[in-house]
């Protein structure tokens, strides 16, 4: 009888909570992605002005509910001196979202180095990984003959980024992994990324969720 009542209580009054890390270099768009996520998945949430978000120094936290799952996000600062703190959160995490600024080719190798160090951690073995090629909306205009402007993309594509990170594949292993285009500023790709992550953390039996009372 106790087991039955306990199970009923958990079904009605508790949610499965999953902790998701949002990592990447500074200025990649991590906090903007988090704000868009909270706006899209939390009713009546009034987010901050996305064009005025500044560099994270430390930690931003956000929570959303998707069905019976509750996602708690830890958005960590991406400056080089703060990356040494990332591994302090690995053991409690159920998923990782790694954000890449696809307009900043000069820092791509730096981003790859941080990424490779992160996925090399044994503590994150088997944890689902969502890689976001952010800022896919950025375009530049070039003057052409006759004074007309020719518009062209000024960002690396998903295939470009996959190629640059290809030698990281062995360290990614058999975990769930998706590389997806995203524009955090407009919200493009946010829903798809979050819904994919929810499915992955729920089915990952190696990292059971935490039980939290519904509030």
The predicted-structure confidence for 100-131, as pLDDT tens digits, reads as follows: 999 999 999 999 999 999 999 999 999 999 99
Q: Which residues are annotated as a binding site?
A: 24-31, 56, 78, 134-137
Between 170 and 6, the higher pLDDT residue: 170
Q: Which residues are annotated as a binding site for GTP?
A: 24-31, 78, 134-137
Q: Is the pLDDT of residue 48 over 90?
A: no
- What's residue 214's pLDDT? 60
Q: Which residues are annotated as a binding site for Mg(2+)?
A: 31, 56
Mean of the per-residue pLDDT values of the chain: 86
- What's residue 46's pLDDT? 74
Contacts of 195 (CB under 8 A, 6+ apart): 66
**Nearest one of 76, 72, 96, 71 to 175, comparing CA atoms:** 96
Percentage with pLDDT > 70 across the chain? 81
Helix 30-41 vs helix 190-203: angle between axes, to the nearest 10 degrees?
A: 80
Q: What is the dotted CATH code of the domain comprising 9-213?
A: 3.40.50.300
Average pLDDT over residues 177-200: 96
- Let me know: does 135 contact 103? Beta carbons within 8 Å: yes
**Nearest one of 79, 80, 134 to 103, comparing CA atoms:** 134
pLDDT band at 29 (very low <50, low <70, confident <90, very high): very high
Q: Which DSSP helix (H) or strand (E) runs through 116?
A: helix 108-119
Burial of residue 134, with CB atoms counted within 10 A of its CB: 0-12 exposed, 13-18 middle, 19 or more buried: buried
Domain limits, the chain:
9-213
Between 66 and 146, the higher pLDDT residue: 66
pLDDT band at 143 (very low <50, low <70, confident <90, very high): very low
User: Residue 189 corresponds to which tokens in the numbers above?
Assistant: 């790709």
pLDDT band at 213 (very low <50, low <70, confident <90, very high): low
Q: What's the pTM?
A: 0.86
The predicted-structure confidence for 193-204, as pLDDT tens digits, reads as follows: 999 999 999 999
- What's residue 52's pLDDT? 64
Please give the full DSSP string across 59-111, using - where no structure is assigned: EEEEEEEETTEEEEEEEE--STTTGGGGGGGGGG-SEEEEEEETT-GGGHHHH
pLDDT band at 8 (very low <50, low <70, confident <90, very high): very low
Between 181 and 146, the higher pLDDT residue: 181
Q: Is the pLDDT of residue 11 over 80?
A: no
Q: Is the pLDDT of residue 179 over 90?
A: yes
Q: Is the pLDDT of residue 175 over 70?
A: yes
Separation between Cα atoms, residue 169 and residue 102, nearest integer Å:
19
């Amino acid at each position: 009888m106790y087991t039955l009542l306990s199970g009923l209580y958990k079904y009605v009054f508790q949610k499965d909570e999953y902790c998701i890390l949002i990592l990447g270099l500074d200025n990649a768009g991590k906090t903007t992605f988090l704000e868009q996520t909270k706006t899209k998945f939390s009713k009546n949430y009034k987010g901050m002005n996305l064009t005025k978000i500044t560099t994270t120094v430390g930690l931003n936290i956000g929570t959303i509910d998707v069905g019976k799952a509750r996602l708690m996000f830890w958005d960590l600062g991406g400056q080089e001196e703060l990356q040494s703190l990332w591994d302090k959160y690995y053991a409690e995490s159920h998923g990782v979202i790694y954000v890449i600024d696809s307009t900043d080719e000069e820092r791509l190798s730096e981003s790859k180095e941080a990424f490779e160090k992160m996925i090399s951690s044994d503590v994150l073995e088997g944890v689902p990984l969502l890689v976001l090629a952010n800022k896919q909306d950025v375009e530049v205009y070039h003057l052409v003959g006759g004074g007309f402007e020719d518009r062209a993309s000024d960002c690396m594509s998903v295939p470009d980024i996959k190629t640059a990170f290809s030698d990281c594949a062995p360290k990614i292993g058999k975990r769930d992994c998706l590389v997806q285009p995203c524009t955090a500023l407009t919200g493009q790709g946010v829903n798809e990324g979050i819904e994919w992550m929810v499915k992955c953390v729920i089915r990952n039996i190696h990292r059971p969720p935490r039980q939290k009372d519904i509030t």
